[in-house]
Amino acid sequence: MTTNHELFQRAQQLMPGGVNSPVRAFKSVGGEPFFTARADGPYLWDVEGKRYIDYVGSWGPMIVGHNHPHVREAVERAVKNGLSYGTPCPAEVTMAETITRLIPSIDMVRMVNSGTEATMSAIRVARGATGRNLIVKFEGCYHGHGDSFLVKAGSGALTFGVPTSPGVPKANADLTLTLTYNDLDAATRLFDEHGHDIAGLIIEPVAGNMNCIPPKDGYLQGLRELCTRHGALLIFDEVMTGFRVALGGAQAYYGVTPDLTTFGKIIGGGMPVGAYGGRRDLMQQVAPSGPIYQAGTLSGNPVAMAAGLAMLELIQAPGFYDQLAARTRLLTDGLQAVADGEGVAFSTNRVGGMFGLFFTREKVDSYAQAIAADTAMFNRFFHGMLERGVYLAPSAFEAGFVSSAHSEQDIADTLEAARGALRAARA
Ligand code: PLP
Give 398 Cα–ligand 1 centroid separation in angstroms: 12
CA distances in angstroms from 132 to 113, 119, 158, 195, listed in the order given:
26, 17, 19, 10
At the second CATH level, the architecture of 69-314 is 3-Layer(aba) Sandwich (3.40)
The single-letter code of the amino acid at 181 is Y
Ligand 1 atom with least separation from CA of 116: 16
pLDDT in tens, 214-261: 999 999 999 999 999 999 999 999 999 999 999 999 999 999 999 999
Q: Which atom of ligand 1 is nearest to the CA of 141?
A: 3
Determine the residue of 21, 24, 120, 142 to mutate for testing ligand 1's pocket, defined as the one with the most ligand atoms within 8 A of the Cβ atom. 142
List all residues whose CB is within 6 A of at least one atom of ligand 1: 59, 114-116, 119, 142-144, 204, 208-209, 237, 239-240, 264, 274
Residue nearest to atom 13 of ligand 1 (CA): 115
pTM of the predicted protein model: 0.98
Please pick, among 55, 142, 181, 276, the residue that the annotation labels catalytic. Answer: 142
Which candidate, 368, 32, 422, 15, places its Cα nearest to that of 180? 368
Confirm whether 142 is a catalytic residue: yes
HEC readout, the chain: CCCHHHHHHHHHHHCHHHCCCHHHHCCCCCCCCCCEEEEEECEEEECCCCEEEECCHHHCCCCCCECCHHHHHHHHHHHCCCCCCCCCCHHHHHHHHHHHHHCCCCCEEEEECCHHHHHHHHHHHHHHHHCCCEEEEECCCCCCCCCCCCEEECCCCCCEEEECCCCCCHHHHCCEEEECCCCHHHHHHHHHHHHHHEEEEEECCCECCCCCECCCCCHHHHHHHHHHHHCCEEEEECCCCECCCECCHHHHHHCCCCCEEEECHHHHECECCEEEEECHHHHCCECCCCCECCCCCCCCCHHHHHHHHHHHHHCCCCCHHHHHHHHHHHHHHHHHHHHHHHCCCCEEEEECCEEEEECCCCCCCCHHHHHHCCHHHHHHHHHHHHHCCEECCCCCCCCEECCCCCCHHHHHHHHHHHHHHHHHHHC
- Would you kindly state where each structural domain of the chain is located, as residue ranges? 4-64+319-426, 69-314
Ligand 1 centre to CA of 424 (Å) is 33
Q: Note the pLDDT tens digit of each residue in 331-361.
A: 999 999 999 999 999 999 999 999 999 999 9
Task: State the architecture of 4-64+319-426 in CATH terms.
Answer: Alpha-Beta Complex (3.90)
Q: Determine whether 237 is an active site residue.
A: yes
265 is catalytic: yes
User: Ligand 1 atom closest to Cα of 241?
Assistant: 3
Residue whose CB lies within 8 A of the most ligand 1 atoms, among 123, 261, 265, for a mutation test? 265
Q: What angle do CA 196, 198, 204 make, to 5 degrees?
A: 145
Cα separation, 275 vs 263, in Å, equals 5
Do 230 and 188 contact (CB within 8 A), yes or no? Answer: no
Is 0.90 exceeded by the ipTM? Answer: yes
pLDDT tens, N- to C-terminus, the chain (427 residues): 799 999 999 999 999 999 999 999 999 999 999 999 999 999 999 999 999 999 999 999 999 999 999 999 999 999 999 999 999 999 999 999 999 999 999 999 999 999 999 999 999 999 999 999 999 999 999 999 999 999 988 765 555 788 999 999 999 999 999 999 999 999 999 999 999 999 999 999 999 999 999 999 999 999 999 999 999 999 999 999 999 999 999 999 999 999 999 999 999 999 999 999 999 999 999 999 999 999 999 999 999 999 999 999 999 999 999 999 999 999 999 999 999 999 999 999 999 999 999 999 999 999 999 999 999 999 999 999 999 999 999 999 999 999 999 999 999 999 999 999 999 998 7
